[in-house]
Chain A
């Protein structure tokens, strides 16, 4: 095989600090050259693999001979990607002996031309040097979808658009290739395929709806992209934010304190608090909403424990607007006080 030296990029770098028991390094090479001082490439598989199937495995093997009159030590320093593994078949190479470096790339669904590299080091008693070998390829991808999952936070009651994107590398997108749209989040059943004004090879699958009451929700977006036979599934995790926020976030009674003031303020335009509801009416907790001050947007919630606490537990205070919508949730924890001896 013709030596594909032109494909073999070499960079020689300063050596990292050596362990104390390593031979002293008296000279560090800092220059570029077409082959390493210690190793000469004598055989190599092609660097360029062209278009390859996603999920396939590429293997590139390079064979070197030790040109020095002494033993050299070889090791792989790094690879550019977790998809790439590399190893030498031996770690010690005698004079005029051969050593093989094998690089293995598991092809991921990343569009466009890809290059993975392996950095390795050759060292001997007075110096060391670094080499690089590359594997080039282009995954065969009809299209890609993104993101792989949607995590959104949005105010309760607001209108929200959930977007998923389909990208056809090098191809103008056509709407009819996407069909059977569905979304299992409540209130987000209506989907549409939209184009991007200045992105001719991208389409967006959009679902719009109103954000449900405060809490955490999950669902899935599904759609079919021809000619694939399986639908695309994109999990959706939606955190619906309360329209008001509380500082502190809740009330804790674990000592002599009997009253806790919680400051409430709107986090977004919304109605005023007008009522409160205790989820566990048996809890030894009472709460009062102090009268509104027209000059301030902030409201105060007074939370009190009733009597001496003899049990532990928790409850939640719901702060509501006049229509009964939840504006903010206030958790309350209470701990039994130590008994007198």
Chain B
């Protein structure tokens, strides 16, 4: 059947938004353009988009990531968001929580509640979601190494408040592989970490059918300095590694793959980014079908969240960042993203102020409501440049994927772990970021305000958000209170049972984690118990 026919069938089955699909001057606009036998959106390999009607049916989700201070502070922000009509909560955790350390850990000094909310025990999680019906919101939690522990806390809160586990909806980032490659928030070595990821996937697949257990993230790889093709290849490679790992744990591919989602960067090279998203969808669909034998269409469709590139922002003349973010966000939209976070213009200076965060959201609304780019699916498809660039990035991506496959003797999972242990990913990314920096130093690439057009750099900086140190004191007192009230013997017993289970590779750790957090074991104590079995990871020598 020609692509156009299959597209037509899909398109007719989907409801459309109530909107006028015409240009500003009244010219009627078709839902898609191109020859009938060319690629179409919603049709394999989905280069032009996962859905036939794209934004005609549903705009992307405008999901802004936030979190600061104590659980109580963030809870107030959540409730305000829900009152103003939001249904999606997105949680940023502070650095100690992300590293599985308690707020009273000596290494946590100065970082408690600074870049996100501090979570030590179930008591903090209860406060974070106090008076919020977990059965009716969707919660995104951006955390990786201790992801299983935080999910266990979320489930424990649902259990306590009488919300059925099957009603829980949301996303856990839980993408440990890119931590070793780029963001470097690892605790355990790669293999036991992968076991934790698989345990979460298996548990969610059995008990939390509405939950997205992994968000496979290229964002951090790009921010660490990779090229677009490296971001694409390493992210998809990690995705295939998770697929292999879950299949090896006995899951059926079509049972979990529809719940996998992706997270990409939107950098400043407009066309290259659009080509990257198109190539990513094509490779994912092809490999999932042909290499892994997935048959459910939803397993083949790559759906992704986008965030504009924090690394592209300047501290100099920060207002100029509003223009950068608009261009990057537009690339995400034209590339067919399912949800989008736009950075605030002051992010090279500090956490965003409320005003800066509002401008960032308004930028998305300008694209959605004013520009008309949402009327047509993949409006750049068929451009000679875009199609050529899509093919080229696909080619470069496949070459990198082939190297990973080779390192693993035909296993993407083994190749990825081997590449991490050898430092291959890390040095590929490091070399790319160094090459880019050299280009800037030699003025072969101009970053406005940094190495060119610097008049105005001396202007007063904008007002920025300041988190005071009182947050740390409040959190420490809170933790001490919880520790005093809990039953230490039950904590110790639950940690022993967790460690026992960890030493048996065939046992799913989630029920044990839910048990331990229920007795108010701290995140640090749980990590410590697991470290006793799993060991810890340190990065090898610098290459």
Do A and B interact? no
> What residues of chain A have their CB less than 8 Å away from a CB belonging to chain B?
none
> What residues of chain B have their CB less than 8 Å away from a CB belonging to chain A?
none
